[in-house]
Amino acid sequence: MTKKRKNRRSRRTDFATVQEVTERIISGGADYLDENIVRLMQASGELRDEREFADFTLDPRQTLAAAAHHFARFRRRLSRAARRDKDKAAMVYDDYRIAALEDLDTPQLREEVRRRLDRFVARAQHRGDPDKLEAAILLSILLAAEQRVTKKLVPLGICGLMTVIYEDTLDRAMAEVPDAQEIAGEELTELWRSRRMEEDMAALTAVTKKAKSLDDLERRITSDPALSLAWRCQQPHLLKALDHELVVDLGADFVPGYFTAEEATLAMDRMEEEHLSKPWHLSRYIMTVALLYWLRSIRDVLDEIVTPERQAEIASGLRTAGQRVLESDDPERRALAPHFLAAAESVANDDWPASNRVLISMYLVSFCERLSDLESFSPQWQRLIHRMDENL
């Protein structure tokens, strides 16, 4: 899969020579830089797709370390901006990325980028994209050690080319550095996922449309490095989205391997015996406390009843369900195939199944099936169910 750049223009049919571009720059006069620098710095991102930059990358571990180091300083600003305004969040992220790239900036890096820019200009000098040529010429000038166009060094973080290279290197770091998520931390990892989500999910949806079977889908994903990264990156999102589908839309009849009514009763009995039956226990009065202990009861039961053999059985059932949605005529249901593949992998490989969100969701669906016979519940459980309904 070739990673698409945001705001990519349609393929050009007009070309220019270096001489023509140079004349355009000269004709701009004294105001040329002020009027064009923002446009050309953004346009330079398109140079990433040229052969001179196809293999260019920063050091993955150093890039990840810089990103993690500066995230601590920008974390609150990023969080506040994300809640208030999308454009503001993008501006704060730009500031954050500029700071991270400052840590990676060296004279050697600038000179290497200049050499590649000059090679591109030489190759495209007789027939090149005029915007790319103009951006490459200007950027090469601004990165020169002795340049006098500006009074101080131009930050690498305002150059579209360098921001694209930075993001690509961060992707590589998250994919290749063994302890990447530990270095990044939970919040930065989630920010990385969210910035990739739209593109990753579009890629996974596209490959799902081509797949002939769930095994074929798995082969297509694992054989393509970019798809494989998208798959690993978005697994938490895939599992979270499937939670809703399992509980709300698909129903207990859809997925083999659900828990029996007797097993669904075990956590209820434990919850009542240890908490709801005690008049003084806070779970009888505070919903958040009740839900906390309810989840703990479910995990205790799953820890007892989910054996490795049961894990393998449920994972197989999830793969069967994935094949079923892949064969569906409904595009929305067919698009759930990667979600089931992720769920099957999660269940099969989890060393602590009691904490597995897929198993917990499946257990809750079995519990929900029992709600049709609410009158058989104890008075304490009936009150708790009514309170849950009021809070949903």
pLDDT tens for 252-273 read 556 656 788 888 889 888 888 8
Taking residues 109-121, report their average pLDDT. Answer: 93
Region of poorest pLDDT, from 140-144, 176-180, 296-300: 140-144
Rounded CA-CA distance 8/192 in Å is 21
**297 vs 84: which has the higher pLDDT:** 297
- Structural contact between residues 197 and 76, judged by C-beta atoms closer than 8 angstroms: no
Q: How confident is the model at residue 71 (pLDDT cuts 50, 70, 90)?
A: very high
What percent of the chain stands above pLDDT 90?
46
Which residues are paired to 128 by β-bridges? 16
The model's pTM: 0.76
What percent of the chain stands above pLDDT 70?
89
Task: Give the per-residue pLDDT at 35.
Answer: 75
Rounded CA-CA distance 337/238 in Å is 10
Task: Give the per-residue pLDDT at 290.
Answer: 85
Mean pLDDT, rounded, of the chain: 85
Task: Give the per-residue pLDDT at 180.
Answer: 92
Closest CA to 228 of 240, 239, 217, 244: 217
| Signed CA dihedral, 381, 383, 384, 389: sign only | positive
Taking residues 39-44, report their average pLDDT. Answer: 88
